[in-house]
Each structure stands twice: as structure tokens, then as C-alpha cells.
Structure 1
Amino acid sequence: MEALPRETIVDVLEDRLRTDILDGRHPAGSYLPPERQLADGYGVTRTTLKHAFGRLVQAGLLETRHGVGTRVRDYARLGGADLLPMLVRHDAKWVHEVFEVRRGVGALIAGRAAARATRRQHAELRTLLAAVRDAEDADAVQLADVEVHRALARATGNRVYVLLTNTLFNAYLPVRSLLKGPFTDPETAHDRLASVVAAVTAGDTGQAHAAAEAYLRATERIMLDGLA
């Protein structure tokens, strides 16, 4: 059996600092108090504080300048989509905004895929769609569904669409277990997605766009109901 990971004091402090930053207790552009004062305030050592700082610098929330101090980064102005998983974990309201982008980008990708997909990619899409129907449980259906969308992005021939697709899925990964509503029945999930694949493999760009938008709206509604 694999041992479960244990939360360390650095994990706890990182989470506390992240929450304080995202809740605005440490506003964007402001400098944090001196390390000794901050460590005393959180009841940790300066070494623990430095480790937590390092993680938050890597996450894009802090920036440290030697001899100057540690400043809260304006993530809303300077940050990238890689921050989304962290933001969704902090506030589930971000999911609504992620889904709005998912709808627009997903429909655009389906239309591009219909115009550009090769015969080999058509065959891959049909195979991946069948895997949705054959999946054993809601979690497996959800993951199989994701692979269809990754294949649609690849079929556009534009690698940026692939990265955007990955980013959007990663964004709601922290709450994925709450979003299984559309995937509880493999046959229904398959049939819901089949119209998108059919339009793409037929090369019908307009129908592919419309089918993808309808699919994304329907699944979004079910998933948001699950979150509520």
C-alpha cells in the first residue's frame, strides 16, 4: 500500500499565505512585513517562511528582491492561465468563468477540426469516442471524454489550441470530483458527444461549431448543478 502524503508545516503556511494574498489581506503591489515579524506572527521559523515564500514565488504570487523585501505580485495583471487551478481551489466561482471560456474555445476548436482533420484523425476520434461508451465508471468516462477533446484540439493542427485545452481542463481539476454529473451514464455521455465527432468527421464546420457549443452548454449546466 502507498502511504498517504502528510501535510507539513510548510504546506500549512503556504496555504495560509496564499489565502491571505488572494483574499486581499496582502494587497497586490504591497510589501510583506519583515521576515522575522512575519515568522513570529505565523508562529513559524524563518526557514519555514523562506520555503513557503519560494513556493509562492514559483506560483507567481510573490516576488523577492534581495535587500528590498518580498512584494505581492499583481497576478491579475501579470499572471497567466497557469494560475487557474490555484484560483479555482481558492474560490469555486472561478469555475463559472472557466466554463465560459471553455464554451467559446471548445466550439471554435470543433469548427477548426472539421476543416482540417485528416482521415487518420477521424479514425482516432471515433476510437476515442467509443472509449467513452466503454468506460467502467463516471471517473473513467470523464477522463475518456477529455481525451476526445484533446484529439479535437490536435486535429486543428494548431498547437496553441492543444495547450489551451490542457489549461482549461487543468483549471477545474481541483474540483473534478464534483463535476461527474454528465458522465455517470457512459451511453448517454457517448451519445451527447457523438454529434460533435460526427460533424467533425463529416467536415461540416458550421455543424461542428454548433454541436460543440450545444454539448458544452449542456454539460456545463449539469456540472454547475453538481457544484451547487
Structure 2
Amino acid sequence: MEALPRETIVDVLEKRLREDILAGRHPAGSYLPPERELADGFGVTRTTLKHAFGRLVHAGLLETRHGVGTRVRDFLRLGGADLLPMLVRHSPEWIGEIFEVRRSIGALIAERAASHATVAQIAELRHLLAAVKDAEGGEPVQLADVEVHRALARATGNRVYVLLTNTLFNAYLPVRASLAGPFEDPRAAHDRLAPVVEAVATGDQRAAHSAAGDYLSATERIMLEGLARSRGHRGGAR
């Protein structure tokens, strides 16, 4: 068994401040109250507060200026896609927007891969596709499926597509367990993905684009249904 992580005071304070910022209780561009006032309000030391601030500065939510104060950063204007996992953790509503990008980018990746994939890359794709069918279901199939998509991105010959693919998968991490629906049946997961790989292997760009769109739409529907059920169970538990 894996030991459960223990939250420190800094962890709890960081989470509280992060939620306040993302919920708009500290609007973008506003300055936080003075450190002494915040520390007293939370019942923590200023050292603990500074550690929490440091994490939020690193996350792109705060910026500090010596002698001026700590200001909330306008992350929607200045932030990058690396913020997505944190935003999904704050509000799963972000998933719908991520899926919209996933559909458009995924279809473009498959289309470009069909025109750029080398013989070796096609062989790798078929090998990774077979691994989806051979996995045991659930998380192993989900992870095997991810590797096929990483290979499709590599086959485009454009490294930005690889990084975008990684970014989108990282964004799922906070709710990944609720998105496992399309991967419970290894054979079904394989059969949904196979037309994409075969279209890329034959160099048919139009078919690859269409097959990827069908795959992404089908898996999105199943994942959103699973996410809705997960939310319903949590609501019922309350």
C-alpha cells in the first residue's frame, strides 16, 4: 500500500490562497493585504505565509515586488497552458474547453502525421496500438492509449504538437480517474483507435482527420458521462 501524503500548514495555506484567487475573491491586479495582517488572519507565521507565496509565484498566480507588496497576476492574460492542471483541480468546468481544443488539435495531428510519418514511426504506432488491446483495462489501457497519441504527435515532425499533446494530457491528471470510461474494455478501446492509426499508416490525410474526429468525439462523450456520474456520487455523499 502507498502511504497517503500528509498536508503541511504551507500546503493548506497555499490551497486556501489559490482557491481564493481562482474564485475571484482576490481579483487580478489587486494587491493582497499586508503580510502581517494575512498571517494573523490565517493564524500562521509570516515565514509560513512567505513559503505559500513562493509556491503561488512559481505557479504564476502572484507576483511580489520588494517594498510594494504582493499582487494577483492576471493569469488569463499572462499565463500559459501549464496552469491547466491547477485550473481543472479548481473547477472541472475547464474540462469542456480542454476537450474542444483536444478535438481540433487531435484531428490536425492525425492529418499531418498521415503525410509525414516514416516507416519506423508507422511500425511504432501499430506496436503501441496492439499494446492497448493487450493491456488489462482501466488505467493500463488509458496509459497505453496516451502513448499512441504521443507517437502520433511525434509522427507529425513538429515538436510543438508533441508539447501540446503532453500539455493536454497533463491537464487531465486531477480528474483522470473519472475519465477512464473509454478504457475499461481493452478491445473496444483498441477498435476505436485503430482507424486513426490505419489511416495514418496508409497516408490518407482526409481519412486520418475524419477518423481522429470520430475517435475524439466518441471518447469525449464517454468521459464526460463518467465525470458527470462522479460528480453525482460526490453530491449524493454530501
Is this a same-fold pair by TM over 0.5?
A: yes
The corresponding residue for 1:154 is 154
| Offset, 1:43 | 1.2
- The structure 1 segments of at least 4 consecutive aligned residues displaced by more than 4 Å after TM superposition are none
* Equivalent-residue separation in structure 1 for 2:146 and 2:197 (angstroms): 13
Residue of structure 2 in register with 1:14 after alignment = 14
- Post-superposition CA distance 1:124-155 (Å, at most 9, x none): 00000000000012100000000000000000
Q: Does 1:55 align with 2:55?
A: yes
Q: In the aligned structure 2, how far is the partner of 1:100 from the partner of 1:169? A: 14
Distance between the aligned counterparts of 1:156 and 1:13, measured in 2? 43
SS in 2 for 1:33: coil
Q: Paired residue for 2:115?
A: 115
Which residue number in structure 2 is paired with residue 37 of structure 1? 37
| Matching residue's letter, 1:161 | Y
Cα distance in 1, alignment partners of residues 26 and 2 from structure 2: 38
Query: Structure 2 counterpart of 1:72, which letter?
Result: V
For structure 2, list consecutive stretches of 5 or more residues without a partner in the other structure. Answer: 229-238
TM, length-normalised to structure 2: 0.95
Query: What residue number does 2:130 align with?
Result: 130
Taking the aligned partners of 2:76 and 2:91, their CA distance within structure 1 comes to 15
Residues 23-72 of structure 1: CA distance to partner in whole angstroms, max 9, x if unpaired?
A: 11100000000000011111111011000000000000000000100000
Q: Name the count of aligned residue pairs.
A: 228
Deviations 1:176-224 (A, max 9, x none): 0000000000000000000000000000000000000000000000000
1:170 is matched by which residue type in structure 2? Answer: N
**Partner SS, residue 172 of structure 1:** helix
Q: Does 1:103 align with 2:80?
A: no
In structure 1, what is the Cα distance between the partners aligned to 2:217 and 2:18? 32
**1:1-228 equivalences in 2 (<5 Å):** 3-228=3-228
CA distance in 2, matches of 1:144, 1:39: 46
Deviation at 1:172, TM superposition (A): 1.1
Counting aligned pairs with the same residue, the percent is 80
In 2, Cα distance between equivalents of 1:62 and 1:114: 43
The DSSP-based 3-state class of the residue aligned with 1:25 is: coil
Q: Given residue 88 of structure 1, which amino acid in structure 2 is its aligned partner? A: V
Q: Which amino acid aligns with 1:178?
A: S
Q: CA–CA distance in 1 between the matches of 2:26 and 2:166?
A: 31
Distance 1:162 1:119 in 2: 19
Root mean square deviation of aligned Cα: 0.7
Greater displacement, 153-162 / 2-11: 2-11
